[in-house]
């Protein structure tokens, strides 16, 4: 049994604990949160015996072998570093860190300590994502030259007045919160993590006016400033000549409430992810066009779960579906989008 410690008893902790406990080869032995009420609630719900007000005590607990970190973004890097230094394996929720420099420090410590570090990019694990990635790898779409990734929420800003809207604690808004998922998914499906340049623009339009709240999050409200993006758009060119457009909103005027997908454009066929479909000419290229529901094939990791993959990887039974290198590249692109917005210039990678 892999013994887990949970750091953060907020909104995401419940589904994370449920997933860990569903594995059968893992148990949650400790949890930590700065807020005593939320910590008690989580410990009661999942029968967690040890609770710590300070995560340093959890990291010092020899019984804990692996740590899940689900706290405000500012604490991702410092807490992941502390856990790795203490010899724990770490599954860290997204985004990796506030910026690439911080993320790289965490990655370096994981490597030096020989511990597993994995970003829990849950959307990669969905059966559709795995199937589409396999279809691309098998050449079913021909050469995929462009992808369009988007997540448009109409009124989906996490609870206003909490850390989510504050740049100093969150590092960014919609782009870091949900853009990271679709960008990651897009690069995962095309297996291309080598960007050449990025041009981007972000906007703060709704949250700063007290509009567009969706309600996610358990942290308490305060009079903290809303100064992050609630809309972002970017054009990314890759070293192999391919391109990706990324569009994301926490809040925007739109006909539909919540839409997210990745559309792939290949020389022989196109595809979408949610739900997975393929589009192409009929066999003879004369009699029209076909839309195929379901891209076919099996999900490589049938459990479709980031925590199961993490646990199985610790046990040497699977490879992590999300590598540290890939997650660092995603962080570099996110940094570059903010940089491009600030300067108005194209950001080029070495
Ligand atoms: N993978 C996903 O799809 C997904 C979904 C939601 C959130 N997340 C990520 O999970 C993280 C947490 O989000 P949330 O929605 O649970 O937020 P939340 O505001 O609901 O909860 C955060 C919790 O962290 C606690 N906390 C803050 N600082 C701490 C510290 N130093 N040590 C221990 N506990 C601390 C808070 O008291 C709070 O209980 C964020 O980074 C977010 O991006 C990921």
Looking at the fold, whether 101 and 133 belong to one and the same domain comes out as: no
pLDDT one digit per residue (tens) for the chain, 350 residues: 999 999 999 999 999 999 999 999 999 999 999 999 999 999 999 999 999 999 999 999 999 999 999 999 999 999 999 999 999 999 999 999 999 999 999 999 999 999 999 999 999 999 999 999 999 999 999 999 999 999 999 999 999 999 999 999 999 999 999 999 999 999 999 999 999 999 999 999 999 999 999 999 999 999 999 999 999 999 999 999 999 999 999 999 999 999 999 999 999 999 999 999 999 988 766 668 899 999 988 999 999 999 999 999 999 999 999 999 999 999 999 999 999 999 999 999 98
SS3 label, residue 162: coil
Task: Give the number of the atom of ligand 1 that is nearest the alpha carbon of residue 120.
Answer: 1
Do residues 172 and 31 share a domain?
Answer: no
Query: Does residue 261 sit in the same domain as residue 244?
Result: yes
In this prediction, residue 286 carries a pLDDT of: 67
Residue 60: CB atoms within 10 A of its CB come to: 12
70 with 172, same domain? no
Tally of structural domains, the chain: 2
Same domain for 275 and 151, yes or no, is yes
Coil/strand/helix, residue 292: strand
Q: Which domain holds residue 192?
A: 124-301+319-348
Examine the domain organization and report whether 153 and 262 are in the same domain.
Answer: yes
Residues 129 and 50 in one domain: no
State the pLDDT at residue 134: 96
Q: Position of tokens 């449920």?
A: 18
Assess if residue 314 is contained within a domain.
no
**Ligand 1 pocket, CB under 6 A:** 7-13, 32-35, 38, 55, 70-73, 75, 93-94, 120, 122, 162, 177, 217-219
Using a cut of 0.95, tell me whether the model's pTM lies above it: yes
Q: How many other C-beta atoms are found inside a 10 Å radius of the C-beta of residue 345?
A: 10
Atom of ligand 1 nearest to the CA of 121: 1
Regarding whether 176 and 85 lie in a shared domain, the answer is no
Domain end, chosen from 119, 144, 176, is at 119
Which of 55, 89, 119 is at the close of a domain?
A: 119
> Is position 307 within any domain?
no
Top mutation candidate among 30, 45, 51, 71 for ligand 1, by most atoms within 8 Å of CB:
71
Task: Dump pLDDT digits (tens) for 27-43.
Answer: 999 999 999 999 999 99
Does residue 289 fall inside a structural domain? yes
Q: Whose CA is nearest to atom 19 of ligand 1?
A: 219
Residue 40: CATH number of its domain: 3.40.50.720
The answer for residues whose C-beta is within 8 angstroms of residue 276's C-beta and 6 or more apart is 128, 131, 132, 294, 295
């Amino acid at each position: 049994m892999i013994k887990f410690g949970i750091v953060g008893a907020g909104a995401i902790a419940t589904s994370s604990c449920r997933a860990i406990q569903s594995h059968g080869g893992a148990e949650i032995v400790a949890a930590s949160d700065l807020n005593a009420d939320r910590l008690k609630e989580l410990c009661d719900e999942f029968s967690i015996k040890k609770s710590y007000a300070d995560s340093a005590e959890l990291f010092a607990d020899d019984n804990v072998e692996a740590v899940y970190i689900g706290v405000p973004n500012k604490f991702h890097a410092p807490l992941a570093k502390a856990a790795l230094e203490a010899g724990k394996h770490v599954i860290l929720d997204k985004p990796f860190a506030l910026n690439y420099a911080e993320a790289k420090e965490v990655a370096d410590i994981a490597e030096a300590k020989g511990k597993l570090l994995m970003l829990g990019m849950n959307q990669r694990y969905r059966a559709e994502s795995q199937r589409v990635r396999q279809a691309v790898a098998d050449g079913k779409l021909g050469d995929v030259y462009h992808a369009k990734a988007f997540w448009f929420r109409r009124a989906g800003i996490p609870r206003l007045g909490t850390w989510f809207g504050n740049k100093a604690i969150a590092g960014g808004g919609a782009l870091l919160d949900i853009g990271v998922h679709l960008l990651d998914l897009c690069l995962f499906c095309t297996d291309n993590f080598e960007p050449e340049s990025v041009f981007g623009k972000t906007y703060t339009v709704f949250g700063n006016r007290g509009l567009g709240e969706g309600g996610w999050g358990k942290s308490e409200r305060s009079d903290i400033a809303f100064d992050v993006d609630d809309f972002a758009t970017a054009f990314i060119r890759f070293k192999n000549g391919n391109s990706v457009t990324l569009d994301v909103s926490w809040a925007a005027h739109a006909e539909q409430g919540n839409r997210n997908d990745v559309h792939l454009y290949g020389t022989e066929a196109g595809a979408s992810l949610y739900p997975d479909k393929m589009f192409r000419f009929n066999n003879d290229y004369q009699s029209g066009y076909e839309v195929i529901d379901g891209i076919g094939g099996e999900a490589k990791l049938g459990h479709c779960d980031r925590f199961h993959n993490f646990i199985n990887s610790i046990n040497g039974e699977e490879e992590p579906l999300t590598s540290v290198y890939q997650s660092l590249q995603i962080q570099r692109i996110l940094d570059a989008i903010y940089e491009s917005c600030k300067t108005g210039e194209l950001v080029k990678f070495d």
